[in-house]
Amino acid sequence: EAQVTQNPRYLITVTGKKLTVTCSQNMNHEYMSWYRQDPGLGLRQIYYSMNVEVTDKGDVPEGYKVSRKEKRNFPLILESPSPNQTSLYFCASTSLGTDTQYFGPGTRLTVL
Amino acid sequence: RKEVEQDPGPFNVPEGATVAFNCTYSNSASQSFFWYRQDCRKEPKLLMSVYSSGNEDGRFTAQLNRASQYISLLIRDSKLSDSATYLCVALSGGYQKVTFGTGTKLQVIP
């Protein structure tokens, strides 16, 4: 089954404790992206990757890191999480030149 | 001003009604437009692409007006299952910049 998976789905952590949210897709898509969704602000792009070893900042990259060592994986790293990073995070992938972005199920992160 | 603006709603409509959503965008370099549907606390899913010539898929019709920089979504004969939040999306530079609107919430009432 074609899908984007994210782990963990739910996470409660404390300020400053490094964490990684994994994202994996099995559709051989070149493009992957991370978004955060907050009430009243909608989905905002954090980072994206056009292909392996190619990453770039989106609209809200501060406080986040990403890597794309393999085509299927695009982890989101929070080196020192802060409460303002409490949000719902979505990973997405697509094949460039097509219309559909496929989203993962989301990760609900709470930073205390 | 947000790059992509939508009326947040909620739009409460009876079953069978026709409802229209509009979305305006400010970046004239935007090239591609989409409507996504998002059910509560779930991931967004593509509803339809939006073309200048219009795009129809069953009860759903999407239109793009580049001169006025807005896109629209028309839902005819609303069903209870249409209740969701509808997200307007604009792309520029391919997928280099993906901008979502904040969404319009639709509630279809029996």
Consecutive sets of 10 residues in chain B, 110 residues long: mean pLDDT of each?
88 97 92 94 94 90 94 97 97 87 96
pLDDT at site B78: 98
Interface of B with A in 10-49 (CB under 8 A): 32, 34, 41-46, 49
For A40-96, how does the pLDDT look when each residue is reduced to its tens digit (9 = 90+)?
899 999 999 999 999 999 999 999 999 999 999 999 999 999 999 999 999 999 998
Residue from the list A40, A94, A105 with its beta carbon closest to the beta carbon of B95: A94
The predicted structure's pLDDT at residue A38: 95
Q: Looking at beta carbons, which residues of chain A come within 8 Å of B50? A: none
pLDDT in tens, A89-100: 999 999 988 888
Q: Which residue is closest to A106 within chain B, CA to CA? A: B43
Decide if A42 and B87 are in contact by the 8 Å CB cutoff: yes
- Residues B90 and A41: their CA atoms lie apart, in Å, by 15
Question: Of A105, A20, A29, A34, which Cα lies nearest the Cα of A71?
Answer: A29
Q: Residue B96: what pLDDT? A: 81
A104 in contact with B, Cβ within 8 Å: yes
What's the pLDDT score for residue B51?
81
Residue of chain B minimizing CA distance to A58? B97
> What is the C-alpha separation between B95 and A100, in angstroms, rounded?
11
Q: Place A22 in a pLDDT band, splitting at 50, 70 and 90.
A: very high
Task: Enumerate residues 63 to 82 of chain B having a beta carbon within 8 A of any beta carbon in chain A.
Answer: none
pLDDT, position B41: 81
Average pLDDT value for chain A? 96
Q: Could you tell me if A79 and A62 are in contact, meaning their C-beta atoms sit under 8 angstroms apart?
A: no
Instruction: Determine whether the interchain pair B96/A41 forms a contact, defined as Cβ–Cβ distance below 8 Å.
Output: no
Torsion of CA A103, B48, B13, B19, to 10 degrees: 150
Give the nearest partner residue to A106 out of B43, B45, B49, using CB atoms. Answer: B43
Contact call for A43 and B44, based on CB within 8 A? yes
The percent of chain A in helix, strand and coil, each rounded to the nearest 5, is: 5, 50, 45
Q: What is the predicted pLDDT for the residue at A69?
A: 97
